[in-house]
């Protein structure tokens, strides 16, 4: 019975989120959201929070902030224009809400992620309809190894299907995110430390890293990280290729154990 209730709550929440996403540039009220799924406001509040952990209006604000972050990094719209486009009451409200969700104000967010011109060009050329992009993405996706590309500010610019599969996320949920936004704090700090060694040495580096997965397991990977450069030889970011060691080592471990028991 509890499972049925949970599934029903999830269904209501998913329908509401879809409705929110379609109306992201509008102002929605709690009454409008409750009406969309044919529930009274009090019951709707309980159902939505049980399924998502957030109140409906808080979740809607998170969606708006995520859309604002996308506009900040992919358009030349001013912060005021973005605030108005997303129907915030005023720029101060937009700044406060954005900072609450992203731990930095919109202008700092834009500077952090777009100060690198080369990264900007990569983002602009990332259309799946570009022949060169399609070829590169096909090659990346054919690899069973986890492949990711990051800029000097730790933002993920690209990844392959194997990386998405292990992360349990879609590509658009990874691209544009930093390591801290994707991994536990301690792991993120370790990964970033290794990244900085590669960028400062301007040379490839191989090391081993443990990764916590969404299902609660941990796997060990051998990771090759290499910097890539602009026309002047300045590092623009790094490319990482991770090969799982856990599954590779399991047969060898079993073999050793079997010999030890003979």
pLDDT digits (tens, 9 = 90+) for 197-225: 998 888 899 999 998 888 888 899 999 99
**Residue 134 belongs to domain with CATH number:** 3.30.450.20
Bridge partners, 211 (sequence order): 219
Domain housing 65: 2-114
Q: Which of 66, 88, 114 is the last residue of a domain?
A: 114
> Are residues 110 and 157 located together in one domain of the fold?
no
How many domains in the chain?
Answer: 2
The helix/strand/coil state of 21 is helix
pLDDT for residue 195:
93
- Is 260 a domain residue? no
> Are residues 16 and 84 located together in one domain of the fold?
yes
Q: Which of 87, 114, 141 is the last residue of a domain?
A: 114
**Residue 69 belongs to domain with CATH number:** 1.10.10.60
Q: What is the DSSP letter of 204?
A: -
> Are residues 132 and 70 located together in one domain of the fold?
no
> Are residues 72 and 145 located together in one domain of the fold?
no
Query: Among 146, 148, 147, 166, which Cα is nearest to 157's?
Result: 148
Tell me, letter by letter, the H, E, C secondary structure of 121-156.
HHHHCCCCCCHHHHHHHHHHHHCCCEEEEEECCCEE
> Are residues 92 and 203 located together in one domain of the fold?
no
What tens digit of pLDDT does each residue of 23-70 get? 999 999 999 999 998 999 999 999 899 888 889 999 999 999 999 988
State pTM to two decimals.
Answer: 0.48
- Is 262 a domain residue? no
pLDDT for residue 29:
92
> Are residues 95 and 154 located together in one domain of the fold?
no
Q: For the chain, which residues score pLDDT lower than 70?
A: 1-8, 113-135, 231-232, 247-262
Give CA–CA dist 245/106, Å, rounded: 40
């Amino acid at each position: 019975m509890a499972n049925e209730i949970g599934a029903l709550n999830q269904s209501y929440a998913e329908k509401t989120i879809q409705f929110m996403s379609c109306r992201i540039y509008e102002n929605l009220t709690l009454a409008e959201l409750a009406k969309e799924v044919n529930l009274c406001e009090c019951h709707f509040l309980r159902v939505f929070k049980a399924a998502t952990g957030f109140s409906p209006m808080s979740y809607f604000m998170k969606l708006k902030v995520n859309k604002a972050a996308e506009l900040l990094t992919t358009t030349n719209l001013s912060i005021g224009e973005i605030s108005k486009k997303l129907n915030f009451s005023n720029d101060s409200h937009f700044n406060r809400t954005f900072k609450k969700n992203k731990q930095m104000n919109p202008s700092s967010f834009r500077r952090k992620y777009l100060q690198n011109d080369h990264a900007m060009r990569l983002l602009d050329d990332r259309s799946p309809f570009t022949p060169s992009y399609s070829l590169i993405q096909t090659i990346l996706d054919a690899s069973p190894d986890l492949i990711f590309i990051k800029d000097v500010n730790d933002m993920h610019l690209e990844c392959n299907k194997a990386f998405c599969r292990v992360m349990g996320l879609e590509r658009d949920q990874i691209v544009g995110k930093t390591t801290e936004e994707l991994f536990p704090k301690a792991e993120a700090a370790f990964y970033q430390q290794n990244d900085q060694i590669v960028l400062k040495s301007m040379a490839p580096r191989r090391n081993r890293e443990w990764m916590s997965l969404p299902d609660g397991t941990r796997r060990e990977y051998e990771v090759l990280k290499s910097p890539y450069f602009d026309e002047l030889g300045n590092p623009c970011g790094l490319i990482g290729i991770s090969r799982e060691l856990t599954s590779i080592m399991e047969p060898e471990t079993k073999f050793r154990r079997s010999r030890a028991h003979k």
